[in-house]
Amino acid sequence: MPVNNEKYYTPELLSRAKGGDKQATEELIRRNKPLINSLLKRFLQYSEEYDDLFQIGAIGLIKAARRYDPDYNTQFSTYAVHVINGELKRHLRDEGAVKVSRSLKTVYLKVRANIEYCIKTKGYEPGVAEISKNLGIGEDDIISAMEACRNPDHFEDSPGGDEDSRTNADIIADTSDEIGYALDKIAIKASLDKMDMLSRRIIVLRYINGLTQSKTAKILGISQVQVSRKEKRIIEKLKSEYYAV
């Protein structure tokens, strides 16, 4: 059944909001409140301030309206999801929100144990789908736990001035927003099963487990340069797939 986009916006409403019309902006937020609320659910584990998070989500929606171009060949709502998610992530990162529920910690410990087991016994890093099957835990829960419980040590600068001395946060912050959107959890999850084994393992190690390029290279038995080049190609592919939606 086709989605009734007029429930969330009309071209006229979007155009007015894009131009800064206050009334149109408020109407756009009102229509998209269910969308914002659905995205807030995954972030409430980090903060109990619903009203504050909703305001950040609304800011993301407004930014999406101002940036959106029909030539992207994707629905506004699809584009808005990526922008709102990015805005919420930046807010929580800047606020230093680190609250993690006990259930997420439990899932994280189980996932890490399964990853270590597979590396030691099978010689490779399992993907999210395989971990989910091994543990009987949903893929969304696994990804949420890995995101929430990343070890800060994984993001410490390494000696030297090469690419690998930069953190994942530095790399993403220094690139354009479109790369951040392309590497959003939703895009990664949708693309993992389409990737070859090496690509999948690089993305899981780098962007779900939060490892540096050198640590990733060591686990995979290849050079850091190879990881860097392969990762760049994967990112470009994710970007092209996102904008082709």
> Domain containing 158: what range?
152-245
Closest among 233, 146, 178, 231 to 64, alpha carbons compared: 178
pLDDT greater than 90 at residue 136: yes
The more confident residue out of 189 and 101 is 101
The more confident residue out of 148 and 124 is 124
- Do 162 and 223 fall within a single domain? yes
What confidence score (pLDDT) does residue 134 get?
A: 92
* DSSP-H helix ranges across the chain: 11-18, 22-31, 33-40, 50-67, 76-95, 102-122, 128-135, 139-148, 168-174, 177-182, 185-192, 197-203, 213-220, 224-243
What confidence score (pLDDT) does residue 27 get?
A: 92
- Do 156 and 245 fall within a single domain? yes
- Do 12 and 64 fall within a single domain? yes
**Residue 203: CATH number of its domain:** 1.10.10.10
What confidence score (pLDDT) does residue 59 get?
A: 92
Lookup result for tokens 């990112």: 235
The domain total for the chain is 3
Average pLDDT over the chain, rounded to an integer: 73
Lookup result for tokens 């001035």: 161
Give the predicted TM-score (pTM) of the model: 0.42
Rounded CA gap, 156 and 82, in Å?
27
pLDDT greater than 50 at residue 3: no
Closest among 73, 68, 84, 70 to 34, alpha carbons compared: 84
